Amino acid sequence: MKGPSEPALSAQNRLRRIAGRHNPLVKQLRQAFSRAELSETGDCAIEGLRILEEAIRSGLRFSAVFFRESAQDRSERLLPQIGAQVETLLLPDKLFDSLVPSESPQGVAALVRLKDFSLEDVTERLQVGPIIVLAGLQDPGNLGTILRSSEAFGSAGVVLGEGTVSPFNSKAVRASAGSVFRLPIIHRHGKSTTVKLEEVSEKLRALRVRLIATSSHKGTPIDQADLRSAAAIFFGNEGSGLPRDLMANMDEVIAIPHTPQVESLNAGVAASIVLYEAARQRK
């Protein structure tokens, strides 16, 4: 009969102590966090207990899990949920803190493999809700909020155009509350490392998807717009909005009426309102 301490001991025994900065997995974690991009092996760096548990719940494949020495007790909670073949490393506090971007590290980080989606994967889901297209959105908190609302209210997926912040930015991952792991996100197209929205617009139009722009001041009031049919809704840069060439390509412009004292709405808030209204209309 197993004693109550045996699961904890087995979790502790899985940890491999690493003291140096030159370990290949340590290097991958550092690079992925510092560049806010995928590692050389295609993994996303994530940090924090809740985010790791969301990754587990989302069925992601883990490449490695890293524990801060002073927080190794968290391995007892996490490792029973992670496959035995996954590398599990124990790092000195100072080394761990130098790798992660958080000012108050929770003592656990990981490299995980995100699911890869194509534009075709997203258009096949148009019955779920509209496609959200972001052009030059730069605030990672706004991006995370939009991803979270896209999953909450129903979206076919999110397309990230040129100049948009990386979905692998740690602040975006945290603000998404795990939605980044589950929602179809297009951050590159074919062999290109970026998504060219002019090409995306042409492909969507060929599929008879309506192209809708959002504006702070003018356009069809959102409660009068038809958001039930297949649509791609574009949101632009926080300061300058959508580029003129994209605006000229739109089928319709919609606006969220608000008091004139407020110049414009936060991009994350605006997208959430539009997604909620689209969900309300579909019901």
pLDDT digit string, tens, across residues 131-142: 999 999 999 999
Number of domains present in the structure of the chain: 2
Answer whether 70's CB lies under 8 Å from 107's CB. Answer: yes
The stretch 158-179 carries a mean pLDDT of: 95
What is the structure's pLDDT at 145?
A: 97
Residue after which a domain boundary falls, among 86, 113, 140: 113
Does 1 fall in a domain? no
* Residue 192 confidence (pLDDT) above 50: no
Instruction: Pick the more confident residue, 55 or 8.
Output: 55
Condensed to tens digits (0 to 9), the pLDDT of residues 93-140 reads 999 999 999 888 899 999 999 999 999 999 999 999 999 999 999 999
Residue 237, in any domain of the structure: yes
Assign residue 198 the CATH number of its domain.
Answer: 3.40.1280.10
| Range from 38-42, 67-71, 169-173 carrying the lowest mean pLDDT | 38-42
Above pLDDT 90, what percent of the chain? Answer: 72
Mean pLDDT of the chain: 90
pLDDT the model gives residue 242: 87
In terms of Cβ atoms closer than 10 Å to its own Cβ (0-12, 13-18, 19+), residue 195 is: buried
Looking at residue 172, what is its pLDDT? 96
Q: What's 91's domain CATH number?
A: 3.30.1330.30
Residues 179 and 76 in one domain: no
Q: Write down the pLDDT at residue 10.
A: 66
Q: What is the dihedral of CA 261, 212, 168, 200, to 10 degrees?
A: -150
Q: Tell whether 278 and 140 lie within a shared domain.
A: yes
Of 27 and 242, the structure prediction assigns the larger pLDDT to 27
128 and 186 together in one domain: yes
Are 132 and 253 contained in the same domain?
Answer: yes
Domain end among 95, 113, 131: 113
| Containing structural domain, residue 213 | 119-282
**Full DSSP string of 53-121:** HHHHHTTPEEEEEEEEGGGGGGHHHHGGGS-TTSEEEEE-HHHHHHHS--SS--SEEEEEEPPP--HHH
Please tell me whether residues 131 and 268 are part of one structural domain: yes
- Residues 204-240: tens digit of each pLDDT: 999 999 999 988 778 999 999 999 999 999 999 877 7
- Give the residue from 64, 98, 113 where a domain finishes: 113
